[in-house]
Amino acid sequence: MGTGGRRTLVTGGAGFLGSHLCDALIRRGDHVVCLDNFHTGTRDNIAPLLAHPRFELLHHDVTVPIDVDVERIFNLACPASPVHYQNDPVQTTRTCVLGAMNMLALAERRRARILQASTSEVYGDPEMHPQHEGYWGRVNPVGLRSCYNEGKRCAETLFFDYHRQHGLEIKVVRIFNTYGPRMYVDDGRVVSNFIVQALRGDDVTLYGDGSQTRSFCHVDDMIAALLAAMDSPAGFTGPVNVGNPAELSMRELAERVIRLSGSTSRVVHLALPPDDPRVRRPDIGLAMQALGWRPAVSLDEGLDKTIRYFRAILNA
């Protein structure tokens, strides 16, 4: 897992991925500074850490500059579900771009190593399948998803320019669909949507004919990948794809969730949203080679854990 004891900043640390990352960093001995504006993050996610002597919480927005004494920075701050990032698209772009600029400026001041949580959305609706890191993508620059897609693409540009211009140690990780406990009931992402609908006995809503594909990585595997990327040799910058290459259609996912949850829900079809990618599957050859990482949690195992989490939340 690498050497612990560092002062490590996690922006978006009270969010879904960020809180799991804070947990893992505390377990390995880091002093964790969790920064969040609680726009989509929640104190519930980090409640068990609040009294820990090596955990520090900063209520702050990454679009505003800040100076913190840290050695490593994980920049995860940004709404990641379409419902949330399209709710205030201007602020989403500000978070992606100004947040990256402010965290890079902090990393330069502190000579800290910094990791950018980028996204498979930089590939847009891809013409190449599966997607590898050399593919430049097919992104609509003026669509409803552009605030997030183009914001993340610009953040990657800034990271590599800081690396070339200022010699900053950077890591850029392109995160593919991730799921697991601490997802939000109303976040609009497909796994949480399907599970919540199935557990409530509501219709499970498929967009389009359900033939579009995705690949789903359990949060435990994703956190292991982020740590491996941050701990990788200084010469390795990425970008590197991180996700589970096991691909399935949205119809297959809906049927699997209904089966695993024991639901009697039926599947119904809605209109396909604009710019919704038809296919999405990572080529993880680089992650396997450079990080020694590959996913270990099967989809059925991960879905079972996530269904149990949502069942407890809904029952409460």
Q: Which residues are catalytic?
A: 148
Dihedral angle sign, alpha carbons of residues 133, 136, 138, 141: positive
Name residue 61's amino acid. D
Of 130, 163, 148, the closest CA to residue 241 belongs to: 130
Contact between 286 and 154 under an 8 Å Cβ cutoff? The reply is no
Output the CA torsion 231→234→235→239 (10° steps): 50
Q: Which residue has the tokens 């990780």?
A: 173
Residue corresponding to tokens 């690396």 = 163
Residues in the chain: 316
Residue closest to 276 by CA, chosen among 216, 208, 203:
208
State the Cα–Cα distance between residues 69 and 41, nearest whole angstrom.
23
> What token pair was written down for 39?
């726009």
